[in-house]
Structure 1
Amino acid sequence: MSSDLSPIDKAKFISAKRAAQFVESGMKVGLGTGSTAAWLVRCLGEMVRDDGLRIKGVPTSTRTAELARQVGIEVISLDEARWLDLTIDGADEFDGDLNLIKGGGGALLQEKIVATASDQMIVISDASKEVETLGAFPLPVEVIPFGWQTTRALIEETLVSMDVLGRDTALRMNGAVPYVTDEGNHILDLHLRRIGNARQLALVLNQMPGVVENGLFIDICDRVIMGFADGRVELRDINEGTVDTERIDLTEGANIFADFTD
């Protein structure tokens, strides 16, 4: 069944399968949003069903919550959990220091809140998400709808003094209408091309009235698990300073391929 997957989906599955091995019964686990995180939720659901894994999941979006319930994971709120053992999520980009750009799926606010309320954060990814310098992927910034055009103008003015290559901004759309997050906000995508000082930019953006949160995750990720289509998986631990390579059997996840659509 796994032979029907594209190489990139195989890589995503490999990273998700390996990350699921860090989850133990009794844990409270943050469940990310996006195509790679969806593989993780399916893997955990298989472990709940077949291996007796007992966990409580805190999803970072309504669609992740729906999927988690479908596969048998007990879903609770962050308020109920209060603190998490682990969050596993995808990323749109990551650099050598494991700093991230997230928010391509529109859930950056909940994702950042959940990740920072965890003992550790693991990012699952394929090799295409690794970059030398953040910024090729548009940086999402969540803004409140009231006065969003003024907020946009303020951001564009501020970017003039930032170490970035581009300053184009765009309101994210959902067809003919603005995209609305789970919290009822809009997203501005900043096309910066290269971010020279991500830490500074993150701080400056969040000081602006109208900005709720930005998609730069600085010093939040502890480990990146990067999958490859041939079954290899690379584990990078920023705290230990280690890089390990393993191999995962693609046939082990055959049960979750049958009805999974991405």
Structure 2
Amino acid sequence: MTNDTEWIIISDSSKRVSSLGEKFAIPIAVRSEAIDFVTTTLFESFTALAVARRGKNDNDGNFILDVKVKPHDVQKEWEEEIESIPGVVCSGLFLDDYADPIWVTSPDGSIDIYLPEQK
């Protein structure tokens, strides 16, 4: 990201985890013709199980794979490695310091704001 761009993430408190893979699968957008190749590569390279969302595509028509990993297995390099697999459009991994503030809402209506150095 350039210095003149601010990227804000807004989430609810149910999405907070101490480790990726703890509660949720990681979404990965994949071109339709590459689904089998990407699924096999994810398993062989990361021991990750990928399941295609039925009837769900991203805004550009790409398939979405929900990728299940073991908690604490995700490494910082994974984002770049996964996104370099032919056919992968993007992943739901945000392991670099992308967001400026992260806003997390709670059921009581309160909002916690985390700045990059607090993540």
TM-score, with length taken from structure 1 = 0.40
- For residues 210-255 of structure 1, give each alpha carbon's deviation from its aligned partner in whole angstroms, at most 9, with x where no partner exists: 111111123111112222333432222124x49xxxxxxxxxxxxx
* 1:155 aligned onto 2:33: no
* 1:221 aligned onto 2:71: no
Q: 2:39·2:49 contact (CA, 8 Å) conserved in 1?
A: no
The 1:229/1:189 distance shift into structure 2, 3 A limit, reads closer
The 1:147/1:234 distance shift into structure 2, 3 A limit, reads closer
Considering only aligned residues, what root-mean-square deviation do their CA atoms show, in Å? Answer: 2.2
Q: Which residue of 2 aligns with 1:171?
A: 52
What is the distance in 2 between the residues matched to 1:150 and 1:171?
Answer: 13
What is the distance in 1 between the residues matched to 2:90 and 2:49?
Answer: 18
The 1:188/1:195 distance shift into structure 2, 3 A limit, reads farther
- For residues 122-147 of structure 1, give each alpha carbon's deviation from its aligned partner in whole angstroms, at most 9, with x where no partner exists: 22222211111112311111111113
Q: Which residue of 2 aligns with 1:142?
A: 29
Aligned length: 116
Partner secondary structure for residue 20 of structure 2:
coil
Partner secondary structure for residue 45 of structure 2:
helix
Q: 2:20·2:74 contact (CA, 8 Å) conserved in 1?
A: no
- For residues 61-107 of structure 1, give each alpha carbon's deviation from its aligned partner in whole angstroms, at most 9, with x where no partner exists: xxxxxxxxxxxxxxxxxxxxxxxxxxxxxxxxxxxxxxxxxxxxxxx
Q: Which residue of 1 aligns with 2:5?
A: 119
Partner secondary structure for residue 8 of structure 2:
strand
Q: Which amino acid in 1 is paired with 2:51? A: A
TM-score, with length taken from structure 2 = 0.81
What is the distance in 1 between the residues matched to 2:109 and 2:94?
Answer: 28
Q: Which residue of 2 aligns with 1:131?
A: 17
Name the one with the larger helix percent: 1
* 1:237 aligned onto 2:118: no
Task: Note the residue ranges of structure 1 that are not aligned, 5 or more in a row.
Answer: 1-115, 161-166, 243-262
What is the distance in 2 between the residues matched to 1:232 and 1:143?
Answer: 36
Matches of residues 183-262 of structure 1 in structure 2 within 5 Å? 183-218=60-95, 219-239=97-117, 241=118
Q: Which amino acid in 2 is paired with 1:217? A: F
Identity within the alignment, % = 26
What is the distance in 2 between the residues matched to 1:197 and 1:207?
Answer: 16
What is the distance in 2 between the residues matched to 1:231 and 1:206?
Answer: 36
Task: Note the residue ranges of structure 2 that are not aligned, 5 or more in a row.
Answer: none
Higher Rg? 1
Partner secondary structure for residue 124 of structure 1:
strand
